[in-house]
């Protein structure tokens, strides 16, 4: 588990560093943000599999991601939550997830585009 966390952190830091220092990678990240995040996950998987721990990836990375998506889809959208989102978007308060998304340059507009696309596909 520690190996999996260490590998993911190192790969994440390497991708963020290259995206801030290499113009080609920065443009790619702006144009294809989802592919950029998926490439971080795939690189983490390959590094962990070279270490001989595919199950570390499954339980150390995929399971927490699954739980995060379940939590995000089941949480209530009440007034308090909307107020917290406004405070965070104004820059007055940073959550841990907000810090990670800022490092990946995944702004709220990207998520709105994905949500709009999913709504159109449902119809």
Band (pLDDT 50/70/90 cuts) for residue 50 is confident
Task: Tell me the per-residue pLDDT of 22-49, one tens digit each, with 9 for 90 and over.
Answer: 888 888 888 888 888 888 888 887 877 7
pTM over 0.85: no
Q: List pLDDT tens digits, range 55-93.
A: 666 667 777 777 787 777 777 677 877 887 777 777 777
Query: H helices then E strands: how many in the chain?
Result: 8, 0
Give percent above pLDDT 90 in the chain: 0
Q: Is 93 helix (H, G, I), strand (E, B) or coil?
A: coil
Looking at residue 60, the DSSP 8-state letter turns out to be I
pLDDT at 68: 81
Residue 110 tokens, joined: 């990207």
């Amino acid at each position: 588990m520690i190996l999996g966390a260490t590998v993911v952190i190192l790969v994440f830091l390497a991708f963020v560093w290259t995206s801030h220092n290499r113009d080609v990678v920065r443009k790619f990240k702006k144009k294809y943000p989802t592919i950029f995040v998926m490439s971080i996950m795939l690189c983490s998987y390959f590094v962990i599999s070279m270490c001989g721990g595919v199950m570390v990836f499954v339980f150390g990375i995929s399971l927490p991601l699954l739980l995060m998506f379940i939590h995000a889809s089941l949480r209530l959208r009440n007034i308090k939550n909307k107020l917290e989102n406004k405070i965070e978007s104004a820059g007055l308060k940073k959550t841990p997830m907000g810090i990670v998304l800022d490092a990946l340059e995944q702004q709220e507009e990207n998520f709105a585009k994905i949500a709009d696309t999913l709504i159109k596909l449902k119809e």
